[in-house]
Structure 1
Amino acid sequence: MTTVLDKQTRDAAVHAFVIGVGAYRHLPGGSGPLMANTLGLEQIQEPALSARAFLDWLTGDYPHPSGVPLGSIELLMSTSDDPYRYDGHDIAPADLPNAQLAASSWIERCNANKANVTLFYFCGHGFARDHQYLLLEDFGQAPLNPMSTSIDLNRMRYGMARCEADTQIFISDACRQVKWDLLKTFDTLGDPLIPPIMGGNADRNTPVLLATRKGGTALGAPGQVTYFTQALLAALRGAGGEDPGNNDTWVVRYRKLADAVQDLLTYGPFGPATGERQCCRTDGESENVILGHLPGPPLVSLQIDYDPPESAEVATLSLDSSHRNFHQTRNQIAGPWQLKAPASCWYQLQASYLDGTSWSRPVAVLPPLPRVPAVHTRRSNAPSNLAPDAP
């Protein structure tokens, strides 16, 4: 089966199409004939784990836009467990015929209401040329046209112009390496699943979030959710939150989401301990659409540094917010102060020293990864932007 949830509503709803591909028939270790040129690809575990994590977010703590609940999920999974089991059901493998069938069911539901939100998520192998190509389980089935069983994400987005839904979100957690074997192919590559048409819904929002830059690799630790999907889910759960009206109504909007994912990939825990971090990219045409409402201010991971580091041993810090009913203190302890606090612009940071001097300043604690400027040893050494009234 491909449909794992269908509330059969014609009211505004979110309709998701999720694909995870880690098992490939024609790559080494696959169940079918080996491709003559595997382009360096192997079987991988991470897509199934990542797609499942995305599903858990969808069915668990998805931050519904006001009045737009989850309406349906189409799911395809290709893993070493054949068939993949989800919620007590056997899930169809992510090959081209099943993807075409699932896309037909998906767009039919998406098309039922102009206020619907369509959400497409893919995790697996991918390549880039002029477009982004997402490789399905039967990639390489046709020896003379191995890319015929891949998804052309760009043309799929163009094809979604036939859909009435005004918000159409596309997320690709796949590599974007450019292979010479693809560059020299004089033909259209891939299948759009939803063929492009002339005209259609020209005013729709079509934000696209790509896991890496063109030519880049989508990374992940073996046997774990990919770094991009980890960062994406952290951003969706609050690290990409903002309060645009300054009225404590927290939402996740497209542009802040993309910025938060990149910050988390670059500076956060979602990346290799050494070496280059990946850079996500955006595409499509979109206003800064609201992707979800958060139930309240997100909990923010905050780091306060000391300069020089030994100043931590003579300073007592406190972070307070009457707005959030929050108070934490840190006595003379070596190392940066790492803590979590609910997001707000209204915090007061105070430093008290062993010689009896002190200073305080307002600080904002906002997602995704705020870092307070260094706290200096002496009040007289505090920089002007940290303690503006210091003598």
Structure 2
Amino acid sequence: MTLIFESDAVKADPAAAATHVLLIGCSEYPSISKTVFGNLAPLTSPRVSVEAMADWFMSGVDAMPAGQGKGPEEAFFNNEAPLGSVVMLASPNASYTTPSGTVVSPLRPSIANIREAYFDWHERLALHANSRGVFYYCGHGVSDGLTQQLVADDFGENKILKFDSVFHLSNTVQGTIRKVTGSLFYFIDACMELSQEIINQVASPQPLFDMDRIGKAKTTEWAILRATTANRLAYAPPGEVAYFTAALLAALRGRCGTDHPSGTGYGVDVTRLRPAVAEFLEFSQSAAAEDRQKLGNTEGEGNWNVPMHVLTNRPSILLELDIEPKGYRAIGQAFMESVAVPRDTRPLSAGPVQFVREHGEWTYGANSTDPTTFPEKLVARQLLTGAAKRKSINVES
């Protein structure tokens, strides 16, 4: 495995409550074209996406030199379970420079390396009931119509056991929750496209290692958040961060949360994170797209109210405003205001405008630089509590 960060607290006491992160990005797949998965090919997004996730975790106060860490609205923070370790596996082979300037060379996400890294991650999490475990995977995923299997980077290299590099995610989790006492967060940026090859195998894909699926679970606080629904694809702009990962990071950067039980800050848990990711995923895709990616079902147990991340400030919403008909944009303006905040007016001549405002009661609307063209349109005292929304105001109605 490639341990790119380990805190001093965990070095001194491996059993300390901490957040342990395992990041996997499979892009290269050099042998996949030679296998029975004829419709799969190398990818360009996972390497970029896994580094974006690493940057978010490693830019906070836990991993940066004193005074250089970014705040909770930009990077990871959790005072109940500070960042304890980050492990990264990624392909293609290339160095990664952490936000603090350390250069590391992540190991390839072969099935053997994934197994070893997962086992170590799972052992760390078993040491303290208040620890958090974050597992992130970006790469190929397939489905038998019901469940999801993830494909390691060395798929196709084992000529005897072709599917040895494909592992069953849900069964892996079922074994893990019987060993781990901490809370678990799985983020899976992969397709769930139906695979006849998987369905027709005599031996189904196995979990990452032998684990019991019977017996009492040691944790009932776990969730799997998937990028897409059953039998559907997940998408990414070529060479850029995948849509799901971008939506996840946007949501984590101050766009969701609820009052922390301690009375200080705002906890970002799965209950709040899921709808925020869904809104950003919707926001990032063109309304004209033929096959729009929808967030998959969330699998798990518990109340989903354990904070993975904690904000200092009240969550905010990204509100995009436009006008109809669009021919009025040249003279149109959009604005937002509240009882406590003066009106902020922005021209629409270059297209829709975006405002980021704390959750609360806001008034917004549109007017014209030429008041004789159309009267001001006002949407008064709206309670805005989401993550990202678009509003188009008809100035002729």
Is the TM value for this pair above 0.5? yes
| Same amino acid, percent of matched pairs | 23
Matched residue, 2:17:
12
Matched residue, 1:230:
246
CA distance in 1 between partners of 2:195 and 2:379 (Å): 56
Compared CA separation, residues 359 and 25, structure 1 to 2 (3 A): closer
Would you say 1:274 and 2:274 are equivalent positions? no
Counterpart amino acid of 1:16?
V
Alignment of 1:25-40 (within 5 A): 25-28=30-33, 34-35=34-35, 37-40=36-39
Counterpart amino acid of 1:22?
S
- SS of equivalent residue, structure 1 residue 106: helix
CA distance in 2 between partners of 1:101 and 1:345 (Å): 46
TM-score, normalised to structure 2, is 0.81
Return the offset for 1:167. Answer: 1.1
Counterpart amino acid of 2:105?
D
Compared CA separation, residues 244 and 362, structure 1 to 2 (3 A): farther
Counterpart amino acid of 1:72?
S
RMSD over aligned Cα atoms: 3.1
Return the offset for 1:57. Answer: 0.9
Contact preservation (8 Å) 1:121, 1:170: yes
Matched residue, 1:361:
380
Contact preservation (8 Å) 1:110, 1:164: yes
| CA distances 1:313-343 after superposition (whole Å, capped 9, x unpaired) | 88876422244x4531257x66875231322
Return the offset for 1:149. Answer: 1.5
CA distance in 2 between partners of 1:46 and 1:191 (Å): 25
Compared CA separation, residues 359 and 2, structure 1 to 2 (3 A): closer
2:271 to 234, 251, 255: 255
| CA distances 1:270-329 after superposition (whole Å, capped 9, x unpaired) | 569632111121212231322221231345321334455567788876422244x45312
Matched residue, 2:54:
55
| CA distances 1:68-106 after superposition (whole Å, capped 9, x unpaired) | 211111221121x36777632332211122122212221
Would you say 1:124 and 2:139 are equivalent positions? yes
Unaligned 5+ runs, structure 2: 60-73
Matched residue, 2:362:
347
For the pair shown, the structure with the greater C-alpha radius of gyration is 1
Contact preservation (8 Å) 2:365, 2:393: no
Matched residue, 1:77:
90
- Larger deviation, residues 352-361 vs 133-142: 352-361
Matched residue, 2:67:
none
CA distance in 2 between partners of 1:40 and 1:241 (Å): 40
Matched residue, 1:145:
161
- SS of equivalent residue, structure 2 residue 47: helix
CA distance in 1 between partners of 2:31 and 2:246 (Å): 29
Contact preservation (8 Å) 2:37, 2:197: no
CA distance in 2 between partners of 1:259 and 1:96 (Å): 32
Return the offset for 1:56. Answer: 0.6
CA distance in 2 between partners of 1:351 and 1:104 (Å): 56
- SS of equivalent residue, structure 1 residue 370: strand
- SS of equivalent residue, structure 2 residue 388: coil
Counterpart amino acid of 2:78?
P
Alignment of 1:283-362 (within 5 A): 283-289=299-305, 290-306=307-323, 318-323=335-340, 325-330=341-346, 338-349=353-364, 354=371, 361-362=380-381
Contact preservation (8 Å) 1:343, 1:367: no
Return the offset for 1:238. Answer: 2.4
Counterpart amino acid of 2:321?
I
CA distance in 1 between partners of 2:287 and 2:112 (Å): 36
- SS of equivalent residue, structure 1 residue 165: coil
Contact preservation (8 Å) 1:303, 1:336: no
Return the offset for 1:229. Answer: 0.8
Unaligned 5+ runs, structure 1: 29-33, 382-391
CA distance in 2 between partners of 1:318 and 1:137 (Å): 49
- SS of equivalent residue, structure 2 residue 80: coil
Compared CA separation, residues 178 and 375, structure 1 to 2 (3 A): closer
TM-score, normalised to structure 1, is 0.82
